[in-house]
Amino acid sequence: MFEWKLALEAIGMVIYATFMGFIFMGIERKAMARIQRRVGPPIYQPIIDTLKLLGKKESVSHGFIYDFGPVFALGASIAALLFIPLANFQLFSSNADLIVVAYLLEVPMLGIMLGAMSSGNPYSAVGVQRGLLTMVAMQLPYGLALIAIAQYWGTFKLNSIVALQQLHGWSITVPALLLAFIVFDIVFQAMLGLEPFDIITAPAEISMGPMVEYGGKHAALLFTQHAVQLFAETAFFAVLFLGGASNLLELLIKQIAVLFIAIFIASIYPRFTIDQAAKFFWKWPTILGIIAVILAGW
């Protein structure tokens, strides 16, 4: 039997997440502008940008894989979103949500890389190489932070992690998980592609990195994907460390708090080069992560 309620909930959740993701991107640009003492664009600017890209009269394609890349990325983002317990909605559930979501949040990057590589642009190739190296570098501390979480709460199910946090206090009040929080926050900058680790789309160096050849409708699809991804990643962060939420408003406040930490870090620090980033990831966050795992096991 086809479950109408589940389908409607999923569609509503995707629309809500896309809209709020665009607003988050607007907040990001506006807050950066205010920090640099500019007026900044209106908060709904990313929606206008996406509309404009959809309204382009011409679109350039380099073949099937090029078209397939953004669709693949958007699909993975939406799948990750539906596994995360957003307030009292969790549409899909399994025994190992944590692992599924952690991997699904990495997949969109691979989709973009797939599409970018098929365009044959040298800037795309450099961007893809940097992106893959950043991913390899950040997997280790990212995995350690997640292991610390799973070790301390003794479960891989995201909704039991939320329930346990509401019973025993948020994750960040536990010393071991506070260290994991710091590690995850450093990795989070790289996941969002923000400043100290925005080596992938380094705008002044390699044009736009993997996105250089995308224009028109493809770019609009990538913008939508970025919005959903931003929403899903901030929600994942809030669920793991800030005690989840019982309604969407509470979740929204926590997501915006997480977003502002990322924006402030991004507006202060300059960009790492790729070798510095890899060295950094394999040094300090890894050490902190190992300490967090050991402490969480006690």
Total number of residues that touch other proteins (CB under 8 A): 38
The answer to whether the beta carbons of residues 82 and 65 sit under 8 Å apart is no
Q: Would you give the binding string for other proteins spanning residues 211-250, x where CB under 8 A is met?
A: xxxxxxx-x-------------------------------
Least distance to other proteins, CB of residue 12, Å: 24
Applying CB under 8 A, does 49 fall inside the site for other proteins? yes
Give every CB contact of residue 117 below 8 A, 6+ residues apart in sequence.
124, 125, 128
The answer to whether the beta carbons of residues 32 and 266 sit under 8 Å apart is yes
Q: Which helix (H) or strand (E) holds 83?
A: helix 64-83
Give every CB contact of residue 74 below 8 A, 6+ residues apart in sequence.
108, 111, 221, 224, 225, 228
Applying CB under 8 A, does 42 fall inside the site for other proteins? yes
Q: Would you give the binding string for other proteins spanning residues 111-130, x where CB under 8 A is met?
A: ---------x----------
CA atoms within 13 Å, Cβ hemisphere of 167: 7
What is the C-alpha separation between 229 and 105, in angstroms, rounded?
A: 7
Torsion of CA 162, 163, 169, 171, to 10 degrees: -30
The answer to whether the beta carbons of residues 163 and 279 sit under 8 Å apart is no
Applying CB under 8 A, does 35 fall inside the site for other proteins? no
Least distance to other proteins, CB of residue 109, Å: 18
Measured from the CB atom, is 143 or 216 closer to other proteins?
216
Taken as a whole, the chain contains a residue count of 298
Measured from the CB atom, is 211 or 252 closer to other proteins?
211
Measured from the CB atom, is 105 or 206 closer to other proteins?
206
Interface residue with other proteins among 10, 16, 19, 40 (CB under 8 A) is 40
Interface residue with other proteins among 43, 54, 99, 278 (CB under 8 A) is 54
Q: Would you give the binding string for other proteins spanning residues 191-210, x where CB under 8 A is met?
A: ------------xx--xx--
Interface residue with other proteins among 9, 16, 56, 278 (CB under 8 A) is 56
Question: What Rg do the C-alpha atoms of the chain give, in angstroms?
Answer: 19
Applying CB under 8 A, does 143 fall inside the site for other proteins? no
The binding site for other proteins (CB under 8 A) comprises 29, 33, 36-42, 45, 48-49, 51-63, 120, 203-204, 207-208, 211-217, 219
